[in-house]
Amino acid sequence: MHTNRRFLLASLALILSIPLAAPAAEPVAVTASFSILGDLVSVVGGPRVTVTTLVGPDQDAHSFEPRPTDAKTLLSTQLLVTNGLGFEPWADKLAKAAGYKGDKVVATTGLKGLTPAPAPGADKHKGHSGHSHGTVDPHAWQDPQNVMVYVRNIAAGLTRVDPAGATIYQTNADAYIKELQALDTWAQAQFAGLTPAQRKVITSHDAFGYLGARYQIQFLAPQGVNTDVEPSAKQVAQLIRQIQREKIRAVFVENMSDPRLMAQLSRDAGVTVGAALYSDALSRAGQPGATYLQMMRHNVSQLAAGMKLN
């Protein structure tokens, strides 16, 4: 009897100890298509989520080709977060090919004020881009106001797959939206002293249309919105003439672009290329664009300094 009771108590302790000894609820596994979204998911999810990013820092999401390991990653996650607007056409194909059955968030869902993609190398202010391809510019994260929509969509997606975390996701999203508002106000102040004639920038590919629309800056790019499309020699020559005619000194290359095009442009137009801007990818940790907020502060500072030379 005595032994029996001890055995029973031991068994009971074992049973009771199982939930206590088990780790706290498993974090929600999320796949983000590229690094900027990965950062936003981490901010909204906090320690409740683990994020895997398919296109990492300093990499080009336009020309990304998923590897078999990416299909494996995706299948082990509960939520796939993409930008949409044709930015990562490979993401839906990957999900389909892998047989992914989890939830999805398209971060730009419900976004207002989308702008059409300008034609590569076109001078938008001369009606030269009349033959715009009719597609939408996907780089909507370059306007902090748009990222508020991204963050709300991400919070809603996380809440769908993890309803117990709803309040936490909402609180994190609200706090981050305040930071985005502060970023926007700060950016307005950085550009405030520039004249309309100074507000012109050359970048390698056309990733900054939304930033330009928000802060009244004209961006010119030889490569258009998609890095897959090589600009023609004629388009590059037109851009060089424009740089010389309008005396544009704010010339930048992006962290994920091939720098050779801008080196040629810089040489032929006789201008110096400024520091790298972070357009479609964050920097690695320890570099100036390791989070969305850092990347935007870096870009805005560089752009404002560059345009002062115009």
Closest contact distance (angstroms) between CB of 104 and Zn ion is: 21
Comparing C-alpha atoms, which of 243, 266, 249, 253 is closest to residue 305?
Answer: 249
Report the SS3 class of residue 212. Answer: helix
Closest contact distance (angstroms) between CB of 13 and Zn ion is: 59
Closest contact distance (angstroms) between CB of 205 and Zn ion is: 6
Comparing C-alpha atoms, which of 79, 69, 82, 71 is closest to residue 33?
Answer: 82
Residue 271 gets which letter from DSSP? -
Q: Check the CA dihedral 22-27-28-34 and report its sign.
A: negative
Q: Which of 36, 207, 240, 269 binds Zn ion (CB under 5 A)?
A: 207
Report the SS3 class of residue 62. Answer: coil
Binders of Zn ion in range 210-229 (CB under 5 A)? none
Residue 281 gets which letter from DSSP? S
Closest contact distance (angstroms) between CB of 206 and Zn ion is: 8
- Verify binding: residue 137, Zn ion, rule CB under 5 A: no
Closest contact distance (angstroms) between CB of 261 and Zn ion is: 14
46-54, 169-177, 204-212, 264-272 -> range binding Zn ion (CB under 5 A): 204-212
Distance CA 179, CA 293 (A): 8
> Which is nearer to Zn ion, 143 or 280 (by Cβ)?
280
> Which is nearer to Zn ion, 49 or 295 (by Cβ)?
295
Binders of Zn ion in range 51-110 (CB under 5 A)? none
Contact 213, 263 (CB under 8 A): no
Closest contact distance (angstroms) between CB of 280 and Zn ion is: 4
> Which is nearer to Zn ion, 155 or 202 (by Cβ)?
202
- Verify binding: residue 143, Zn ion, rule CB under 5 A: no
Binders of Zn ion in range 262-281 (CB under 5 A)? 280
Distances (CA, A) of 310 to 67, 70, 157, 272, 276: 44, 44, 44, 12, 18
> Which is nearer to Zn ion, 121 or 157 (by Cβ)?
121
Closest contact distance (angstroms) between CB of 46 and Zn ion is: 29
> Which is nearer to Zn ion, 229 or 275 (by Cβ)?
229
Taking residues 280 to 299 in sequence order and writing x for each that binds Zn ion by CB under 5 A, - otherwise, the string is x-------------------
Closest contact distance (angstroms) between CB of 92 and Zn ion is: 18
Mention every residue, 6+ apart, whose C-beta is less than 8 A from residue 267: none
State the angle between helix axes of 68-75 and 89-98 in degrees (0 to 180), rounded to the nearest 10. 70
Distance CA 118, CA 18 (A): 60
> Which is nearer to Zn ion, 207 or 262 (by Cβ)?
207
The count of residues in the chain is 310
How many residues bind to Zn ion according to rule CB under 5 A?
2
Distance CA 110, CA 71 (A): 28
> Which is nearer to Zn ion, 46 or 116 (by Cβ)?
116
| Residue 178: CB atoms within 10 Å | 10
Q: Which residues bind Zn ion (CB under 5 A)?
A: 207, 280
